[in-house]
Amino acid sequence: VQPPTPAWGSMLADSRAYLRYYPHLTVVPGVMITLTVIAFNLVGDGLRDALDPRLGKDR
């Protein structure tokens, strides 16, 4: 990733030096990464439930 391009991982890594005085610099990208992972997991679970014929109607 080029330096001017924002990325959550690089934002998180760069903000480690300022964690003591500016904790929000670490919290915001960390929360966004967590929410994105949870969202992809929920979408994956929904697709599996909708498209897997082996699950049946029991679930």
Query: Would residue 56 count as lying in a domain?
Result: no
Return the pLDDT at 57: 66
Residue 32: give the domain boundaries.
8-51
Query: Would residue 18 count as lying in a domain?
Result: yes
Give the C-alpha separation, 37 to 45, whole Å.
12
Give the C-alpha separation, 23 to 10, whole Å.
15
Identify residue 44 by its one-letter amino acid code: G
- Based on the structure, what is the number of domains in the chain? 1
Rounded to two decimals, the pTM is 0.71
> Is the Cβ–Cβ distance between 24 and 30 less than 8 Å?
no
The pLDDT of residue 59 is above 60: no
Return the pLDDT at 48: 93
Query: Would residue 58 count as lying in a domain?
Result: no
User: pLDDT higher for 48 or 56?
Assistant: 48
The pLDDT of residue 58 is above 80: no
The dihedral sign for the CA sequence 7, 9, 14, 22? positive
Query: Would residue 31 count as lying in a domain?
Result: yes
DSSP category for residue 8: H
What is the tens place of the pLDDT at every residue in 17-50? 998 999 888 888 899 999 999 999 999 999 999 9
